[in-house]
Structure 1
């Protein structure tokens, strides 16, 4: 119903509002517009042969080969595109709606690896994916390359990350430079599919993302994550020191704020070098608006807690480090980071860095998780390395040299190790930030050694040397 209103000679045609007029209530006014917008955003996409996969708590690398392996069990996969702007997400295009539906029902809420890499699957809006190049983040399995069909698996590309997409055997280690497995697939699964897996993404204090119940008792999609340069192979219950995803950041998140850095000395590698002693470092980002401040994403909240426990209020040069939880759940990738004082980028991704020290159970068990001290343990240096060579490294990086160096008797011709004593704890911390993972040339070696440093529990270098010898002797007797 409408009626005319005359106002100063201008006639308006006005529609009368009624209480039953839902279109008027929803479609007019700021609140109505917002309600309509929220309604549209909350509506799920209709069934489609393209799926949107969101990976929560992506502790291990997610590549097209990983996704192809878990998806190809449910139908023919045509294309995969992974994007990491806001966490880790991917779109997988199947050959039919039936295949996509099977995959969605079987994989939604499942863990790719035990206790992490949890999938949330929705129907995507695009009906076809555009793949511009074939690499670890995108792949078109329908086109040919070098005259060979990609679908037959014999296309001349490097060995896939998972050699056999069916579940049988155990995965072998791979090197991150090549991102491939040498052999094997994964153990077989019990019959009956994946069942109804529960999914928990609670905020502060909430449980981690994991599978519960289900037809297979909550078995992860992949028994073992990649080893050596991947993110390791955990034992039962997941990687040592890895906490499940605690959604929403806050006191249970895996991102921390680091204040008190020297803007004229420290870069992303400096931050990585000290934080990697307490957990796997995923990403480091310096803030342009707050000089000397960085955000660090670790692999889990436990690692952040270790960093706070051991590094908060530690003196470094003229500053004190302040370390605290961030409210952010994760660090997004920065495509154009601003340059730091040394022209290195202010953002760096370390998730694939082989110098992370908690990549598998065996490696994690060897770590010396200690608070900062004047005594440092060094290892992986050239055999028969000289004191002068070690001092030259610290001189090159413009940090204080150790006041004392003690080499352990070498029982291997492959490398050497020992203890370093600095005048103060602040100098020792600065030395780790600058020289951890520094290259050390060895006589007669083709490639330099990567010197690794960590804090020692020894109070002085003499007692530390004796403790090391006793520990090595006891380990030798245990292995006999």
Structure 2
């Protein structure tokens, strides 16, 4: 058994919990340690799955409820140890399987609390043994209850209620399906207007998937600075869809009639019922929306005004955004254009010793077709990047602002320029301006390209494709290691050996490897294709 970890029991309860002490659904213990607290006893090798998750890089003002809320979507939290002096915590779940699901999920969607990215890994301990004083038990019971409430209710329903605020552009049932399908199988959708607000009920196959979608999407914008998603749990556990049309859809019943596009009485009843999930604490100490800053889809530029939200970051095709903008134009709606305009980006804080127009072309080309690049002659740490359209520019900015390239964190903002001027004939600019408009390396020129649905934030894991049969694992590992990067893992796709995943030592290394090896000649008329992956190895 692990050694006892004790805390100062005289510290007193937080005011947050003093008014709502009750017997919650979770029975737990808690300890707040200090820097000198250490475990003793049964330990295991790092990286070996354990039901205890080690959480690091927590903000100084973190509380128990916020830490517990990280684990609640994945199962019952059975114990908690806070090491506030070290900005760390140990979270024990009721099973190793729950902990594995949690660690795996957060390896692809990094949680952020008050602008702090939170990191987690398996603990070397298989369980926690902490002080069982009544004060601790009550505090963490209430913390768990409160965290569960802030997550949007009892979290047992697979049905989400979605309100779209700031509706500058039309939001269709198909757009909602495209966004929410990124998190799992959507079974049914009903859309309706109530109290002059566009709303939807969305049913997943299970409550866990619904919880993941809610945590990631609540508070995000579908289009640039508008169409904000407000998501809560419905008390309904199933939707009754009678027609498949532009207002409702049952994806498990393609045989349903289309009828008209007005919601049925059943739909209206469901809409009314969806408003009153019982047992939800309405006031949150973290503001009106407790989770968006915590579980926002990880992208460095998320807080910058004017960037796209969920739709772009989930890799939904920009054709949908353009269609919505066109519809908005026909309807005479004002607002920021989701497509068109502002297609030139100003990229600053670059490393002038290393940056080239080609490297910016390859990197920004992951998120759109780069037409021209200009590194400023007198300020070589700054560059202008002209994308094919405004949507692609917004997408590139949202994913690349704040990412590190050649040892520096890039700043990416919209430029006041509408085009990048080529040097006048006879004026040499030392190769600092390049026109890529006719490059064969554009990823998005082909209509309906699969690349539209495979746009992900920079990650340490790269997706490789177009690998010839003669190239084996060691060849690719040696190739990527030749850049000086660390290759941590590699895996061919089982069903298609032309594709593989390779995990680098860091996101920065992956970015530089993508720049260096995208379109690398592997022989046999095969040029390597490299992109960021949402998967881990």
**Shorter chain as normaliser: what TM range?**
0.3 to 0.5
TM-score normalised by L of structure 1: 0.40
